[in-house]
Structures are given as structure tokens and as C-alpha cells.
Amino acid sequence: MTEELPEPAVTVVREFFAALEIDAVDEALELLDPEIVWKNTSLPTIRGKDRVAMVLRGLDRPALGFWAEMHHIAADGDIVLTDRTDYLRFGPVRIGFWVTGTFEIRAGRIVLWDDHFSKGNVLRGTIVGVAKALTRR
């Protein structure tokens, strides 16, 4: 049986998340189109690689962290859908919340990053994260 290689669009998204997880922001930025549009549920849309870079570099601090647990990833041509749990770390507090993302890839670069999540799920993740941080002390 021949193992199928991942679609190029899926590979771009996987490499993007892998770079973010190891704080390789410059490598992650190389996978973004200069005209990228980054949308997050109920947050302002960020347009352009320079603005996205400001946000991602702002998270690149010792007290902060990001990683994602990818549950499902699928592509239809240059559109990639993700179902994942994102984790944010603020000092000792770790917040986990469910996210679905849509990525559009053009010429090997991400032109659209559109994440959807529930505010209630983020609030629950925050409460659980704070409670765990307090009980670890």
C-alpha cells in the first residue's frame, strides 16, 4: 500500500502552526502572503503581513506561550479546514479552547486565516486555567 503524501495546502498550515509553537515567528511569517487577512470571532480583522507580524511578535515573550492540538485537518484544493484546541499560556495560567479555522492558500502562502471560537468556551478555559494555576501553588 502506498502512503499518500499530504496536500501542499495542508503542509503549509501544519508548518505555520509548528513554527508558532516553537516561537519561530519569522519562519511562520514566511508562510503568510503580504496581503493576508486574519479574522477572529468578534475581534477586529487584521489586514496585511506587517500588522499580523506585530501581533505574533507581541506574543513572543518568555511569560507567554501558544500551542495547538490539531484534532482534524482537511483540504479541498487551496482551502484548509482545521478543528483544534488552541492553548495560550500567560505565566502559570494555561487556557485551552476549541477553534475551527479556515485557511486559504495561494502560491504556497496563507492569504486568509479565519478562526471561529465560542466566547463561552474561552471563558470556561480561562476559569479552568486560573483554578489549576492556583491549586499548583
Set 50, 83, 86, 114: catalytic member: 86
Set 23, 33, 60, 115: catalytic member: 115
Residue given cell 494555561 in the structure block: 94
End-to-end Cα spacing for the chain = 52
Angle at 87 between CA 116 and CA 68, to 5 degrees: 75
Known active-site residue 86: yes
Known active-site residue 115: yes
The CA distance from 99 to 86, in Å, is 7
Q: Catalytic positions, please?
A: 86, 115
